[in-house]
Amino acid sequence: MLKQRLITLGNASAVFLAILLLWQIVVLVFRVPSYMLPSPWAVARAGAARFSSLLNASVLTAEEAGGGLLASVVAGVIIALFFARSRWVRRMLYPYTILLQTVPIVAIAPLILMWVGAGTAAVALIAFIISLAPIIANTTQGLISVEENLVHLFLMHNASRAQLLFKLRLPHAVPALFVGIRIASGIAVIGAITGELYAGSSRVGEGGLGYSILYASSQLQTDYLFALVVAATVLGFAFFFLIMFLEWYFLHRWHESARVPEVE
Amino acid sequence: MIDPLTAPQIELAGVTKSYKDRMVLDAISLRVEKGEFVTLIGASGCGKSTVLKLISGLAAPGGGTVRVNGLSPKDARKTISYIFQDATLLPWRTVRQNVDLGLELEGVNGNLRVETTEGLLRLVGLEHVATAYPRELSGGMKMRVSIARALATSPQLLLMDEPFAALDEMSRDRLNEELLRLRSEQNWTAVFVTHSVAEAVFLSTRIVVLAPNPGRVHAELPVPLAFPRTAALRETAEFEALVSKVSHSLREALPC
């Protein structure tokens, strides 16, 4: 098992290194100007040289995306609880959650900028808006898909509405909620970076990854721009793995999805 | 005025039930006295499960009356436990917490709750898996948890809807024997639904054969086998004779 995993990891790393090497060679052999395509080595050097601003930008974006995501989890669960109460409410309001998903965020970014001003709050709001829909949809599904016999079991013990909600529907919805958070976490990071392109900074020269990317491109600092792109990717991965860990932590004892396959 | 001491445990009088335009039960009348173990048997579409839903108040009759201990089913719920076809365990709770569920929902706390739960875990032989989660258990073990949970609230009436249908024959036989053992230690009345004639004969004091489309009572057959009943009973001629008698009645009830 472990040996196979190490081989897989080794192979993946080899491919990655080969691509970097090829990239480096192409840049050297064809003498590509560094503002068009910097070599991997140049990217690494630029990243190292401006590591503290790279880190600051990453942390800022992480805060915005994380804040937006957290808010969308809280708001999404509350809205889902409301939706789960009646089919009628669902039918009436569900189309509007699809609206949340389909509205082009770049189109409403200027509005948000106008309403709350540029800066962290505006970006977090954008991340919140676009990560809300998957949370609502998945949590609602989890809340209403409780087996009928389980509801009957609770009714036979004269369970109150609160008991039905907190001891049956909510715990039953947790795995679905995590599916929603996992999807939303990716969108929240992308949303924060996109938001920063429009509303990223209240002060010139300071901002998150999206803002810094825009700034670096205007200054033709393509090597640093690439370093920022790498940082954005790493940030996306970090969010994803953090959610995976939380999901494992809360579900591994009882849920089928977290079951470790038995060794043959 | 109905005296709850002498009233039959369950009384269905001229009960009808339809889902949409389809009539499921047609004028069913049935009395179950305290201490009886009554099994409802019949082909699919006889409304066996519907009868249990009516007795528990999970469904309301279209016509006729249903009384449990002289009360309406909903008012009598505190004294009723329901065991479903699947174990219906909460996967996020351990075995102990699942057995505990009914007491928790009914607001029983403290020592009484702990003692009841631990006692039942011992009674059904689950102490060694008390901290396990349902996904770690076999089908038979899950059903045991379900039975323990139903008994935890000390019911006077136990409604069972094909509880062992999904199990293999060995586990089913063992659980049948265990169910009778539990019944001899506690005093509950049972209404049991099954497709299996042998199971019905082994468990019951009386078998009610239902005819389908719409469901109605075809025959009521007493099972005059003495208790305690053990596994060896299944091989006696008396048992075989009763099995053929019930099977025969079932064939009559089925329109070919």
Reading chain B (256 residues) residue by residue, the pLDDT tens digits are 455 555 678 999 999 999 888 888 988 999 999 999 999 998 887 889 999 999 999 999 999 999 999 899 999 998 999 999 999 999 999 999 999 999 999 999 889 999 999 999 998 889 999 999 999 999 999 999 999 999 999 999 999 999 999 899 999 999 999 999 999 988 899 999 999 999 999 999 999 999 988 888 999 999 999 989 999 999 999 999 999 999 999 998 876 4
Do residues A14 and A79 both lie within one domain?
Answer: no
For residue A171, whether the previous peptide bond is cis, meaning omega lies within 30 degrees of 0, is no
Distance from the A159 Cα atom to the nearest Cα atom in chain B, whole angstroms: 6
Do residues A82 and A156 both lie within one domain?
Answer: yes
Do residues A7 and A58 both lie within one domain?
Answer: no
Task: Report how many Cβ contacts below 8 Å link chain A to chain B.
Answer: 56
Of B86, B92, B101, nearest to A149 by CB-CB distance is B86
Asked whether residue A102 is domain-assigned, the answer is yes
ipTM (interface predicted TM): 0.92
User: What range defines the domain where residue A8 resides?
Assistant: 1-31
Interface of B with A (CB under 8 A): 56, 58, 77-78, 80-82, 84-86, 88, 90-93, 101-102, 104-106, 133-135, 153
Cβ distance B135 to A259 less than 8 Å, yes or no, reads yes
A49 vs A141: CA distance, rounded Å:
48
Do residues A58 and A147 both lie within one domain?
Answer: yes
Tens-digit pLDDT profile for residues A29-55: 999 898 899 999 999 999 999 999 999
Do residues A20 and A127 both lie within one domain?
Answer: no
How many domains are there within chain A?
2
Question: Which residues of chain B neighbour A166 with C-beta distances below 8 Å?
Answer: none
Asked whether residue A263 is domain-assigned, the answer is no
> Is the minimum CB–CB distance between A48 and chain B shorter than 8 Å?
no
Do residues A142 and A240 both lie within one domain?
Answer: yes
A152 vs A144: CA distance, rounded Å:
14
CA dihedral A241, A255, A179, A243 (to 10 degrees): -20
Do residues A4 and A133 both lie within one domain?
Answer: no
User: What range defines the domain where residue B45 resides?
Assistant: 33-253
Judge contact between A76 and A132, C-beta under 8 A. yes
Asked whether residue B18 is domain-assigned, the answer is no
Question: DSSP code of B226?
Answer: P
The b/e string for A233-248 (b: 16+ C-beta within 10 A; e otherwise) is eebbeebeeebeeebe
How many domains are there within chain B?
1
Cβ distance B102 to A159 less than 8 Å, yes or no, reads no
Question: Which residues of chain B neighbour A256 with C-beta distances below 8 Å?
Answer: 91, 135
- In the sheet with B10-19, reading across from the earlier edge strand, the strands are B22-32, B10-19, B63-68
Do residues A8 and A93 both lie within one domain?
Answer: no
Cβ distance A156 to B58 less than 8 Å, yes or no, reads yes
